[in-house]
Amino acid sequence: MDTVSGIVMAHKGETPGLGAEIATPKFQAHFAGKKLFKSGEFVSVSLRKGGAKDPEHEVDGISGGTKTSDGVTAMLRDCLSAYLPYFESQHQAAAQSAPAAANEAASSEVSNQQNVNESHE
């Protein structure tokens, strides 16, 4: 629930070859696999001029498109922040179901072993 699967942006008011890069599939592909959380804290995904130094959470910014890069970073952070309560509820649900699933798997394994033992008797 914290990994970006993809992003689509369209913005006609940008300079071709500079800020307009945000609308290209090649640029947008860089967002796939980025993480929204770091050590349990929301960090979003940001564009970094001069290259992504944190490859899990950053995308290389657009050369000559500093304002666009800053705007995309702010837009992602602000818009995704609205979903933080939902993300938190999903993280809590996953944390609660993990021990239950582990217990169920262990119980199933014990039950299967008992069935094997009984069939050999």
What pTM, to 2 d.p., does this model score? 0.70
Q: Is residue 113 one of the residues assigned to a domain?
A: no
Q: Which two tokens stand for residue 30?
A: 């860089």
* Residue 34 falls inside a structural domain: yes
The total of structural domains in the chain comes to 1
pLDDT at 120 over 70: no
Q: Is 110 a member of any domain?
A: no
Name the maximum alpha-carbon separation found in the chain. 79
Determine contact, residues 10/28, Cβ cutoff 8 Å. Answer: no
Contact 19, 11 (CB under 8 A): yes
Residue at 25 is within a domain: yes
Q: What is the pLDDT of residue 100?
A: 61
Please report whether residue 108 resides in a domain: no
Cβ 46 vs Cβ 57: under 8 Å: yes
Q: Is residue 98 part of a domain?
A: no
Answer whether residue 114 is part of any domain: no
Provide the residue range defining the domain that includes 68. Answer: 19-82
Q: Which band of pLDDT confidence, cut at 50, 70 and 90, is reported for residue 22?
A: confident
pLDDT in tens, 83-100: 999 988 988 888 888 766
